[in-house]
Amino acid sequence: MGNDLRNKADNFRDKTVMISLQSVSKSFPRSQETLPVLNHISLDIYQGEILAVLGPSGCGKTTLLRQIAGFDKQDSGSVRMDGQEVVKPEVKRMMIFQDFNQLFPWKTVLQNVLFPLQVNRIGESDAANREIALQYLQLVELSGFEDSYPHQLSGGMKQKAAMARALALQPKVLLMDEPFGSLDALTRLSLQDLLLKIWQETGVTIALVTHDIQEAINLSDRIAVMGRRGVAGFKEIIPNLLDRPRVVGGGGYSEIYAQVYSLMDFRNENE
């Protein structure tokens, strides 16, 4: 069934598949029984796209992203990137968490970005790494805060710094788990704009988990809607071909909103 739905996205037929999930299942042990979370999920992520993964809280979005990142091992099925099985976290798949704590508090903003560059020997010299770090801090509009410590930054700035740190390593894909979920509405909008700008400038592939329908519509090329935990998997993957920049109430916006809305399971996760 999932395959039929995927084929609806005709416009994406000619795209290259970068990451491919085949029938991935994952459950967690509970005191008595096991809690099935992902149940035979299949999904392709195309090179260069922004894929939004949308679903009610507790449906398994984070679990899904963690399998793709390589943090957790699926019970069955396979996660492949460029044909190779994903077995551990790697620099080419950078995870951005919702948690502001992903920056290292004992390093300044610049050091946070610089340190992984040095570890991975990205630049040819320390000076070159520094250049790269500064360049990505500029890209996320954090110039001037290089020497601040994370605890001195606002939530939005912390997320920007985390993006700079990830992007500086030139990953093939950004896996973003509700990265703007803890931000106030205005900051969220400005970071969405920034993310689009970054995407256009770097061409990085993005898988963005969100529970915000507007965020999904504003940013993505496709919206994968997940149903309730453990059973429904992906209900539908909706191609989102609206012209950019997208504005609420613009042509086609309300139609796609209604389509997504009708697919969302709002029932309590414990039911």
Partner 1 sequence: MKNKDSYGKKTKTRLLWIIVFLVIWETIAQSRTFPEAIFPSLPVIAKALGDSVVSGEILLQTGWSLALILQGLLVGLAAAVLLSSLAVRSRIFDGLVDTLTAIAHPLPGIALLPLIIIWFGTGTLAILVIIVHSVIWPMILNITTGFRAIPPIYKETGLNLGLNQVRIIKDIMIPASLPYVLSGIRIGWARAWRALISAEMIFGAVGLKGGLGWYIFKQRVFMDTPGIFAGLFVIVLIGIVVEDCVFAAFEERTVKKWGMI
Ligand X SMILES: Nc1ncnc2c1ncn2[C@@H]1O[C@H](COP(=O)(O)OP(=O)(O)O)[C@@H](O)[C@H]1O
Size of the chain, expressed as the number of residues it contains: 271
Contact status, residue 68 vs residue 175, Cβ threshold 8 Å: yes
Residue 162, beta-bridge partner list: none
Nearer to partner 1, 207 or 216 (CB): 207
- 42-101 residues near ligand X, rule: CB under 6 A: 55, 57-63
Task: Name the segment binding partner 1 (CB under 8 A); options: 56-64, 92-100, 229-237, 256-264.
Answer: 92-100
Query: Which one of ligand X, partner 1, Mg ion, none interacts with residue 165, CB within 5 to 8 A by kind?
Result: partner 1
* 37 counts as binding ligand X under rule CB under 6 A: yes
210 binds, among ligand X, partner 1, Mg ion, none (CB under 5 to 8 A by kind): none
CA gap 136, 25 in Å, rounded = 37
Contacts to partner 1 from residues 151-170, by CB under 8 A: 151-152, 165, 169
CB 37 within 8 A of CB 89: no
71 or 257: CB nearest ligand X: 71
Q: Compute CA distances 30 → 27, 33, 34, 84, 158, whole Å.
A: 9, 5, 5, 31, 34
| Both tokens assigned to 233 | 């998997």
Indicate the residue type of 88: K
Kind and range of the H or E run holding 43: strand 34-46
Tell whether residue 84 is a contact of partner 1 (CB under 8 A).
Answer: no
CA angle 48, 50, 56 (to 5 degrees): 150
Q: Write out the binding residues for ligand X, residues 203-232 only, by CB under 6 A.
A: 229
Does position 200 bind partner 1 by CB under 8 A?
no
Tell me which of 62, 67, 102, 108 binds Mg ion, using CB under 5 A: 62
The footprint of partner 1 (CB under 8 A) covers: 69, 71, 88-91, 93-95, 97, 99, 101-102, 104-106, 115-116, 119-120, 149-152, 165, 169
